[in-house]
Structure 1
C-alpha cells in the first residue's frame, strides 16, 4: 500500500478512529444541556451555599449589622446550655412525629376516599386542599381566636353538648397538641393530593386480579393500594417530618412557645434569641438546627428509599 492509498494524515501517530469521532460528537451534544444548568447553579450558589457558609462563619462571632468579633465555639456552648433547650428539642421531635404520622394516615384515607366513585369527589378534593393555600400566620391567628377559653367558638360548641371546654393553648398539657392538630388540618391537603396521584397511577389490572380472586374492598386496599402507594407515603413522610422539625410560624402565632416554655421548639428558641439581640447566639442555634435536621433526615431518607426500591 502506498502513502497515497493510506489517505491524508495531519501528523505523526495513528489516524483518529470512529470512536474518537463519537466522543467528540457526544461532548458537543452535551454542551447545550449542561449550559441550561448554569442559571440554576448560580441561583443555588447565591441563595443557598453562600448564606450557609456565612451562617457557619457568623455562628463563631458576636456580630451586629456593622461589626463582628470572633469568639470561636462560645456561641454553641451558650446555646447548648440554654435551660429550655431540652424541652425544645423534645417538643420538636414529638411535634414532627405526631404531625407527619397523622398526615400519612389521614392523607392515605382521604386519598382512597377521593379516588373512589363519589359523585362530589372533585368538589371534596378542592375542599380538602384549600387549607394548604391559606397563609400559615393567618391560620394560626384564626385558630388562636377559635380556641380561646371563654369566647372561642370551639368551647362554645362543646358547651352546647354539655362538655366543659378548657384553655387549649394556655394549658401545658394541651398547648403543643392543639398546635399540632391545627398543623395537620392545614397540611393534610397536600398529603392527600400526593396520595391521590400515587393511587391513580396504580394499574387497574391489579384491582381486577383481586376481584377475580373474590377479594373485597379491604383486600384491594391491603394487597394493592397500601403497598403500591409506598412512593407517595415516602414523599409525605419526608416532607412532613422535615417540616415538623423546622416548625416555627404556627407555634409562634398560636402560643409564642408558652405557657412558659412548654410548647417551645428549637426554632422558637432561636427566634427568641434574635429578639433579645443575641445574633451570634441565634445563628449558632440555626447551625445546630441545620445539623439536627440533616442528621435525622438523611438516614431516614436512605432507609425509606431502600424500602421504596424493595417495594
Structure 2
C-alpha cells in the first residue's frame, strides 16, 4: 500500500484592489495639520530671528535668543518649569493610580465617587484658578479662616515666594488627576480576572497582587499618564496666570508666562524666540522619555 505524500496547497495571490480611499482619508487631517501646526511652527522659527511688528520685519539673526537668555527671570522660569512639570506629573501618576485601585474595587457609592473625581476635569481652568485664588486668599480666604478657627498657621498660599509655585501645582494636580485616574481605571479593568483569581488561590496578599500583577500590566497606562501630564506641566500657563501671574516677583514664573510678559511689553521677536525655546525644551525632554517608556512597554 502506497501512501501519497500530501503537498501543501499553493497560496493564491490576490491582486491588490487599487483604491484612493486610504490615501484621501488622511487628506483633511493632513491639511489641518499643515495649516494649524506646520506653517505656524516654521513661521515661528523665522520670526524668532527677526525684530518684527505688524507693519515691519527686520532680520537680526540670533540676537533675540542671546537677549532672551540674558533675562534674569528666564533662569527662574526654566527651573520653575521643570519643578512644576515633574511635581505635577509624578503626583498625578501616584494619586491617579491609588484612586483607580480604589474606584475599581468593591466600595459603596463607586459610581458617585468616580463622578466626583472626574468632575474637576470638566471645569474651566481659568474658573478653577480664580476660585482657588479666592479660597486661598491670605486675609479673606475660606481656607485660612478655617485654619485660624482651629488655631493653625495661616500661610500666604500664593503670596509667599516659597509656596506660590507649589500652591498652583497642588491646584493643577486636583484638577487634572481625574484624567489620570480614568486612564488607570481603563488599564486595570482590562487585566483578565483569571490572573487575580489564580493569585488569590496561591495565597498572594493585596500587596503581592499589586506588585506582581497590577503594576506591570498597567505599564501602558502609566506611560500614557506620564507623557500627557509631563507635556501639560511643561507647557502650563493659564492656571499660573489666573492665580499668581508669575508672582510674587518671578518666583512662580514658568517659560510660558515669561513669554507672555514679553508679548505684553511689545517685544514680539523676543517672545517668539521664547516660544521656540519652549518648543525645543519640551521636545528634548519628551522624545527620550517617550522612547524610554515605549521601549520598556515593548519589552514587557
Task: Give the TM interval when normalised to the shorter protein.
Answer: over 0.9
What number of residue pairs does the alignment pair up? 289
Whether 1:243 aligns to 2:236 is no
Q: What residue is the counterpart of 2:222 in the other structure?
A: 233
Partner of 1:44: 33
1:159 to 148, 152, 155: 148
Q: Calculate the TM-score normalised by the size of structure 2.
A: 0.94
1:35 counterpart = 2:24: yes
What does residue 110 of structure 2 align with?
121
What is the distance in 2 between the residues matched to 1:262 and 1:204?
49
SS in 1 for 2:27: helix
Instruction: Give the SS at the match of 1:84.
Output: helix
Deviation >3 Å, runs of 4+: none
Give the alignment's TM-score, normalised by structure 1: 0.91
Distance 1:277 1:210 in 2: 64
Please state how far the C-alpha of 1:117 moved relative to its aligned partner: 1.1
Q: Structure 1: give runs of 5+ residues left out of the alignment.
A: 1-17
CA distance in 2, matches of 1:38, 1:166: 55
Larger radius of gyration: 1
Q: Which residue of 1 aligns with 2:192?
A: 203
Shift of 1:216: 2.1
Residue 6 of structure 2: aligned partner: none
Task: Pick the aligned partner of 1:184 from 173, 178, 191.
Answer: 173
Identify which of 163, 170, 173 aligns with 1:174: 163
The whole-number CA distance in structure 2 between the counterparts of 1:154 and 1:199 is: 35
- Aligned-partner Cα distance in 2 for 1:169–1:119: 37
Alignment counterpart, residue 213 of structure 1, candidates 202, 206, 224 = 202
Alignment match, 1:13: none
Tell me how far apart the structure 2 counterparts of residues 152 and 215 of structure 1 sit (CA, whole Å).
Answer: 48
Alignment of 1:60-75 (within 5 A): 60-75=49-64
- The 2-side partners of 1:237 and 1:279 are apart by 33
Which residue, out of 257, 280, 283, partners 1:268?
Answer: 257
